[in-house]
Amino acid sequence: MNKILLILMLLFSVTANANTSEQNIPWDTLPQQDQKLLKGFEDRWDSLPASRQQRLQHGARRWADMTPEQRKQFRQRHKKWKQLPPERKRMLRKRFQRFRQLPPEEQERLRKRYRWFKNLPPEKRARLRERWRNMTPEQRQKSRERRRRLRDLTPQQRERLRQRLEQRGG
């Protein structure tokens, strides 16, 4: 998963629907803090669909709960997002939609894999990216299949495989 996908996930999670009811939210019932954050929508608030109002209110609450550092990071990511070409945005939205359709366990596996990758030293990440870029589509598919098979091994099977690889010097 690349950094842009994470940005897209954050953008969509900020605008995720917080409330399942489809009732409009009157402007004057919004908490003062939400009204302050959503001031730019005040004039047209009543004409917005209920689902959009709810997403905006949810986003305002998420924003209010962010630390200054999280807000700074979000602004940086949002700026990068806005600078992307429309075709790249379309591709990322499609990728995100596919991600959201995955079972929760698979989503969590991908998030875990992403965190693992982000915690690698920058040099190691760069080497892995370069190795991936240099692979043919067939090699990439073979690599995915290998990872899938490894993921399905029991801990005991993984340990036996690790021992065999160490004996071979791999």
Number of independent structural domains in the chain: 2
Residues near 27 by beta carbon (within 8 Å), at least 6 away in sequence: 35, 42, 45, 46
Q: Residues 29-43: what's their mean pLDDT?
A: 92
Per-residue pLDDT tens over the stretch 120-140: 999 999 999 999 999 999 999
pLDDT at res. 169? 72
Q: Is residue 119 part of a domain?
A: no
**Mean pLDDT, range 93-119, rounded to an integer:** 93
Residue 31 has φ and ψ, to the nearest 5°, of: -60, 150
pLDDT-based confidence at residue 13 (cuts at 50, 70, 90)? low
Confidence of residue 10 (pLDDT cuts 50, 70, 90): low
Tell me how far apart the alpha carbons of residues 46 and 37 are, in angstroms, rounded to a whole number.
16
User: Residue 150 sits in which domain range?
Assistant: 145-170
Confidence at residue 3, expressed as pLDDT on a 0 to 100 scale: 57
Q: Which of 101, 124, 158 is at the close of a domain? A: 101
What average pLDDT does the structure give for the chain?
Answer: 87
Mean per-residue pLDDT for 33-60?
A: 92
- pLDDT-derived band of residue 17, with 50, 70 and 90 as boundaries? very low
In a domain, 37, yes or no: yes
A 10 A CB-CB count for 64 gives 13
User: Does 11 lie in the same domain as 71?
Assistant: yes
133 located within any domain: no
Among 12, 72, 65, smallest CA distance to 4 is for 12
Q: Average pLDDT in the 45-65 region?
A: 92
Residue-level length of the chain: 170
Residue 132 lies in a domain: no
pLDDT in tens, 146-166: 888 888 889 899 899 888 888
